Structure 1
């Protein structure tokens, strides 16, 4: 006989009070049955409810729940999962008494690669973890900011700059220059082109650094002249005049030179003429033979001789006697050139 049968029996006995003297026993039985049912319901309620711990980003919360799985527990607790959030154990795992459910939130950050920025999420602990997670391989010159060992922080920006250094060659023109040569053979201010100029060509080698495709620096490594330029030469009528000894001397050039004195040696000059006042020994790589000048303090002189000690910006002037040469000594003078 089931519990329902017992209850009906008790009810019939209650209605037949005159015939069933044990009505008090029936009331007791009904009370016992009700208590048993209530106890069973309470035990079932207690058995179905579980005590678990929910741990979200280190914040712990004790929960009693009827949820059957980890996923339904999170839903009941209104814990939403976003992209790349991690749940341990997995949401489909059956919930058990005493279980610890851990939710590790991913971190929002901004990722800049090749000059392009985009929002992203990660559970990586370091910048290096982010690079690995997103499959970003670094070249030997690439730059990462912050460094790969830096910790990941919410809202941070991770920037990867692609850097490459290349060698580039180019051919560029070399502009010719215009050289002026003053002459007393032309009227003052008049000009005459002796030779037209022509640009040359130079090969330049550059070391160029690009960052994310944009040039950031350029350094000249070497240069090689392929075709030298040809300077333009013009003659200009000299307007330069100096007054010496009551005479106005029109000259084409003036230089500061070191002048010494010498006298007879018993030999003719290097040009073959006998030495005489007005003969000047020169370095012919600087002043050609036959060049006529005016030497301050000496007078007119012509390049007719050369000497072993006469090199560069120096001249040696002839005097008729040794005493005159000694008195002249060694001095710096202005030398006026007529051509």
Structure 2
């Protein structure tokens, strides 16, 4: 051998050089190697490596990866001393969406990410079952619910407030507007929600006042008596009416008229036709400009605050004509 041919001093020098090379190599490895932690399926171990990225470290450690397995911090991530490489295995999932079922696999942390990874777009209101923020379970069936919302605007009336003030100078039952009010308006917005095309709910979601209501003040009569021709007349209720006059003969009531009212009274002055919903039949009344009368007849045109006063002659009925007056329902 070469060392045997060398002088003793030279052999000692060569041995020292070889030892130095070995030590230097060991030091270089120790300096270049990185200690990493590998976590796969919940199992962790430490490993020293000279590899530069996560994928090569895993390959050297015998960890096989499927296309959708998730590697954290990334397959191409550069490795530093102390790096933790986590492998999350992809699981099989079924996604029901838009009437179809899609078989896929994913290793992402949330259902939302798994759905997006499968190429399914989610609208701003769409939701999933189970909820999108939850982690997917192996072989889970995920349902994507398409949520659509329709908004409808309407104008609503805001009723005015009405303040009533008693007035002893106004007849009982009558009112007078002291300060005219006005209803307000508001714009309301309804939201109708559909899930996969089926209507689920309709709700009021917004309202904006466009015009404020103006309060109204009304005087309410409290006086239960009037004086006519020096006579004091007490009454239960007064009404402002439109009054017409009619003659009981054929000129006004037709050729088949028999001279009697609908309740069997003799048609004559002192009988008025009324709307029974407003003035009860057989009520005693006093009509301004006409006098005392009995509510004793009805008529097809006599509706609401309208009365028809009977006269004994056709000319009297013509002279009365049509006028505004007051009716007092007596006790």
TM-score (norm. length: structure 1): 0.40
Q: Please give the TM-score of this superposition, normalised by the length of structure 2.
A: 0.41
Q: In terms of Rg, which structure is larger?
A: 1
